[in-house]
Each structure stands twice: as C-alpha cells, then as structure tokens.
Amino acid sequence: MAQLVLAPSLASICDKSIIKPSSLTPSTLKYHKLSLVDQSLSNMYIPASFFYPKKQSSTDDAINSHELSHITHLLQKSLSQTLISYYPYAGRLIDNATVDCNDMGAELLSVQIKYPMSKILNHPDHCNAESLVFPKGLPWNNNVYEGGNLLVAQVSQFDCGGIAISTCLSHKIGDGCSVHSFLADWASATRNLSIPSAPRFVGDSVFASQQNNNIGPLIAPIIESNVNECIQKRFVFPNAKLDALRAKVIAESGLQNPTRAEIVSALLFKCATKAASKLTSHRSMRPSKLVHYLNVRTMTKPRLPRNAIGNLLSMFSVEATNEEETELPRLVRNLRKEVEVAYKKDQVEQNELIVEIVESIRKGKLPFETGDDDECDMYFCSNVCKFPYYSVDFGWGKPERGGIPNGPFKKMFFLFDYQTGQGVEARVMLQKQQMNEFERDEELLQFVL
C-alpha cells in the first residue's frame, strides 16, 4: 500500500492564536464539576475534521473567498462568540474532578498546506493522511495539550484553495454529541455572526461525581496502545446495499425494522471476530463482546435537551462465545433485546457504564482496563449516525468529507451518516494483522462500496 510521505516544509503554521470568550464568564459559573463518567475517561481529545473544496462557480464573497487570512479572521471572531456559551472549553483542568472556567481561551491554528486536498481524500491510506489537518500528535492524545487548552482547532488551506477545519475537544467535558453541538453552533455563528443559544452544561448534576458509596474523585486512566500497531479503514455502506443487508436480516431473523446501526455493527463484529480467529494458532474464536455506547439524553427523567453538554452515556452489550453466536440474525436479535432492556432502565440509577466504573474500581482496576491475556475480546461501537456531521456549514457549503484520524484503538467501530443520509460510513480501527484479514472478508465486501 502506498504511504503518505510529506516533508515538514509542505505544512507551515501561519498563525497560532489564543481565542477567549468575547464576554467574561460570570463568577457563578467559575467551576465546572466533572461527573463520575467524566472522571473515568482519559484526558484524550475527541477529533473531527471537515474538508471543503473551493467553490469555483460561486460569486458570493462570504463563500468563495478562500483566502486563509480572511477565513481565519471569521473563525476567530465566531469562536470567541461561541465560547461565551461553551465557557468550560475555554477553561483549564484543576484536577480530574474540576474545570476552572477562567476564560484563558482555546487555541486556533492557521496552516498553509502545499499539497492538493484531492490527494488527501483519495489517498489509499487516507485515514492516516487526514491527520495532516490536525495539530501534530494531538488527536486521541492521553495528555492535556500544551498550555492546558481544552479546545484546539485548526484551519488548513491547501494549494488548490480548498479548506479543512479540524477540532479537538477534551473528552473530559463532553461526548460526541457535545462535540456536534459545539460544531453546529460555531458554524452557525460563522455564517450569521450571531451568538448561539446557550447549551446546558450538565457536569455532575445528573451523574453525581461521588455517588455510589462516595467513590471518587478518580485518577484519569491512560489508554495504553501503540498507534503504530493500529490501523483505521473507512467502509461505506450505501443505502441500496444497506437495504439488501436489512432484507437478509429480516428474512433470516423475523425481526422487523432492524436499524442501520444494529445491522452494520453486527456485520462488523462478525467479520472482526472471524479475522481474529484466523490469527490464532488453533483458528478458533475467542469469546468476544460488542459494547455499544448509548446516548441517554432522551432517556433521563426529565429528558435532557439535545444540546446538553457532558458525557451523557450508558452502554449495552452482546456476547458471543462461538461462531454460531456471531451469525447476523442472532446478533441483531440480541442487540435489539439489549437496547430495549436499556430503554426500560433508569439511566441514572441503573446506568451500566457507571456500574462498570464502580465494579472496576472495587476490583482495583481502571475502568475498561483490558489486556491481551483477558478471557474476552472487547469491541466498542460509537454510533453518531443521528448527528448530521456532513451538514456542518461554516459558510462555504457542506463538507465533501468528514473524518477522524487514526487512533490508538485496537477494536473500535465508529458509525456516521454517509453524506447526509445516503448510507452509513464506518471507521474501523483494528490491529494491522487483523485488519488485513478483515478487509478481505467476502461477506463484508458484498455490502460496501
């Protein structure tokens, strides 16, 4: 496979600015308390990137002007306005339980890239190539960024005139839904130069930081994985092939209306376990578990608003101990059963994610701590299909591509909407040897572009 080789001189930083909220955060909001779920997460930053080709035919100055200095100025101004509402992201961590909302600001970098955008998007190893539009070493990093910034953004201009916007937001403050809310509001402010309506920062008001027998504050865990051993691949399931996959599952399982996330994650899990089996000396399947993260904003009583900011998550899982249990009809039925059970639970008092955190601590382990010698392989799925990342419009149209860079995850699936409802885009992270087997799976290849 071709490798992306870029000389350091091809990417140059034109500007690096600290952007502070355009008005001071009230003293009543000085400290943002982190929940037990927040504390259980590493200090990593959630990355997202968006690629906007230059519009050759537009005459609208606001859209067609791809001068880097002009765009940087717009983004600086709108980010400053947006941080009024997203004030914890302009603060600094005091410890693993508290953010000092001191308005020290977020960082915005302006970068010139002497390389065509098309070669990034069409590169055989484009998931690694996309890392070029992020501050070096920041995405998925376990350590707090230099200066303690909890939000770092970068605008990159390619020599073709195209623009990429990337953001890295601290996972301590919010989840993927929180990131989308921020991006939507920042993009809106850039288009309209208006201050977005304020989101609700939940903090420890829902999942108390010291509930469950006063456990906490926790020590931030570290994800120990060599990113060079892991690889990410992008798989697109267009609607026509999703319909065929859904019809197959319905015919064989009798389950009506399986969701896109259910059928795609089940197929990915099945193919990943098959790939792993081929690498064992006895070529048999290890017990494996598929863990789905669950957005609980609409599951709490009372319901939280869609733009509530925090790690408002639970989880559910299915387990397979042999190949028969990875067959799609059974997997999808079991996924549906578990999600129905999850929706019947009180997601504050019976939150499976918090149960996992508390039980791990009582056993003297870090939450989600796993090793190669564990009895069960754990695969994780984060489904953000309902969040329209392909609609993030800063004023020059919708992105041609959204993405996340390669990370330190050995067994992870991310599911996105593909180009505003045209299918599902899966970003799959596995160890390299397992990926070599996975991407050749004939059943998988039936349903992807």
Sign for the CA dihedral angle at 401, 404, 410, 414 comes to: negative
Q: Which residue has the higher pLDDT, 346 or 286?
A: 286
pLDDT of 210 above 50: no
Report the CATH number that the domain containing residue 373 is assigned in CATH: 3.30.559.10
Q: DSSP label at 34?
A: P
The pLDDT of residue 283: 76
Q: Which of 15, 100, 103, 393 is the catalytic position?
A: 393
The pLDDT of residue 419: 80
Tell me the whole-structure pTM to 2 decimals: 0.90
Are residues 33 and 158 located together in one domain of the fold? yes
Residue 52 lies in a domain: yes
Cα separation of 209 and 354, whole Å?
Answer: 11
User: Last residue of some domain: 183, 214, 245?
Assistant: 214
Residue 431 lies in a domain: yes
The pLDDT of residue 438: 98
Q: Which of 126, 171, 180, 292 is the catalytic position?
A: 171
The pLDDT of residue 165: 97
| Class of residue 60 by CB neighbours under 10 A (exposed 0-12, middle 13-18, buried 19+) | exposed
Residue pLDDT, tens place only, 285-309: 999 999 999 999 988 888 899 899 9
Residue 220 lies in a domain: no
> How many domains does one find in the chain?
2
Are residues 235 and 202 located together in one domain of the fold? no
| Residue bearing tokens 């982190």 | 34
The pLDDT of residue 441: 98
Residue 113 lies in a domain: yes
Nearest to 234 by CA among 48, 52, 388, 429: 429
Are residues 439 and 311 located together in one domain of the fold? yes
3-state secondary structure of 355: helix
| DSSP string for residues in 273-322 | HHHHHHTSTT--PPPEEEEEEEE-TTTSSSPPPTTEES--EEEEEEEESS
Are residues 200 and 243 located together in one domain of the fold? no
CA dihedral 440, 442, 447, 449 (to 10 degrees): 40
Are residues 355 and 324 located together in one domain of the fold? yes
Residues 6 or more apart in contact with residue 216 via CB below 8 angstroms:
36, 39, 97, 209, 210
Nearest to 52 by CA among 135, 157, 124: 157
Are residues 200 and 266 located together in one domain of the fold? no
Half-sphere exposure of 46 (CA within 13 A, CB side): 20
Q: How far is CA 303 from CA 86, 111, 175, 223, in A?
A: 21, 41, 17, 32
Cα separation of 376 and 374, whole Å?
Answer: 6
pLDDT-wise least confident of 180-184, 268-272, 278-282, 415-419: 278-282
Residues 6 or more apart in contact with residue 135 via CB below 8 angstroms:
109, 145, 152, 154, 168
Give yes or no: 185 in active site: no
Q: Looking at the chain, how many residues does it have?
A: 449
The pLDDT of residue 66: 57
Give yes or no: 32 in active site: no
| Residue bearing tokens 């969040």 | 387
| DSSP string for residues in 375-388 | SSEEEEEEE-TTS-
Are residues 440 and 331 located together in one domain of the fold? yes
Average pLDDT value for the chain: 87
Report residue 290 CA to chain centroid gap. Answer: 17
Are residues 355 and 402 located together in one domain of the fold? yes
Residue pLDDT, tens place only, 363-407: 777 666 655 446 889 999 999 988 888 889 999 899 999 888 888
Q: DSSP label at 158?
A: E
Are residues 293 and 177 located together in one domain of the fold? no
Amino acid identity, residue 244?
A
| Residue bearing tokens 């010291």 | 210
Query: Taking a C-beta distance cutoff of 8 angstroms, is the pair 209, 217 a contact?
Result: yes
Are residues 172 and 38 located together in one domain of the fold? yes
Are residues 240 and 119 located together in one domain of the fold? no
* pLDDT confidence bin for 108, thresholds 50/70/90: very high
Are residues 238 and 135 located together in one domain of the fold? no
Residue 58 lies in a domain: yes
pLDDT of 252 above 60: yes
* pLDDT confidence bin for 17, thresholds 50/70/90: very high
For residue 331, give its domain range: 230-445
Residue 225 lies in a domain: no
| Residue bearing tokens 């791990």 | 360
Q: How far is CA 130 from CA 161, 381, 407, in A?
A: 17, 21, 12
* pLDDT confidence bin for 282, thresholds 50/70/90: confident
